[in-house]
Amino acid sequence: MNFKALLSGLTLVSASMACNAQQPNPLDTVPDKMPFDVPYGEPISLDRAEVAIKAAVAEAKKHNWKLNVAVVDSGGNLVAFQRMDGAQLASIQVSEHKARAAATFRRETKAFENAIQQNNALYVMTLDGIVASRGGIPIVVDGKLIGAIGCSGGTGSQDEVVCKAGLDGLK
């Protein structure tokens, strides 16, 4: 083995380790306020859940997107669901899972997607109940989380557009 090459390799490894040791871990930052601290409210009613689904499905139909739409209450329990004709069967459970994750973690599922893809926060994948794909959005009324809507069957961006239309239908 070439001693010069070995020494050069060890120098690179040592420099890399020193560089990594100097980098602060952003997860060590302690925020002053609790992130995503939205209080839970009364669970969404079936009537309101159906209004959100109707608005979401209307948006999907405008684009000829075939989606599954689920609405859960503030505890993540299914309240209403609709599968559009021709929607991907595997996305039935995914739409429910997105809604459940948005309600129980009190944030859009897009936050998990961003954490992994943009921030390299791979630890997010170890959390139970996570869906790291947009298309799950909490339903907040008067500052309180009453449920969440989840859409699946299209691309993440299509799912997100339809979820937002469902939320707009509640206004």
The predicted structure's pLDDT at residue 65? 98
Residue 76 placed within a domain: yes
Query: What's the pLDDT at 153?
Result: 98
**pLDDT for the residue 74:** 96
Domain harbouring 142, CATH code: 3.30.450.150
CA pseudo-torsion sign 32, 130, 110, 85: negative
Higher-confidence position of 1 and 112 = 112
> Which domain covers residue 79, as residue numbers?
46-168
Instruction: Report how many domains make up the chain.
Output: 1
The pLDDT score that the predictor gives to residue 162 is 98
pTM of the predicted model, to two decimals? Answer: 0.82
Question: Looking at residue 25, what is its pLDDT?
Answer: 76
- Rg over alpha carbons for the chain, rounded to the nearest Å, is 21
For residue 32, being part of any structural domain is answered with no
What is the C-alpha to C-alpha distance for residues 160 and 110, in angstroms, rounded to an integer? 9
Q: What's the average model confidence in pLDDT over 33-56? A: 95
Domain assignment of residue 38, yes or no: no
CA pair distance 69, 81, nearest whole angstrom: 6
Task: Decide if 13 is inside a domain.
Answer: no
CA separation for the pair 122, 93 (Å, rounded): 23
Assigned token pair, 44? 């969404």
In this prediction, residue 101 has a pLDDT band, given cuts at 50, 70 and 90, of: very high
Q: For residue 105, tell me if it sits in a domain.
A: yes
Does a structural domain hold residue 8? no
With respect to residue 128, please indicate whether it lies within any of the assigned structural domains.
yes
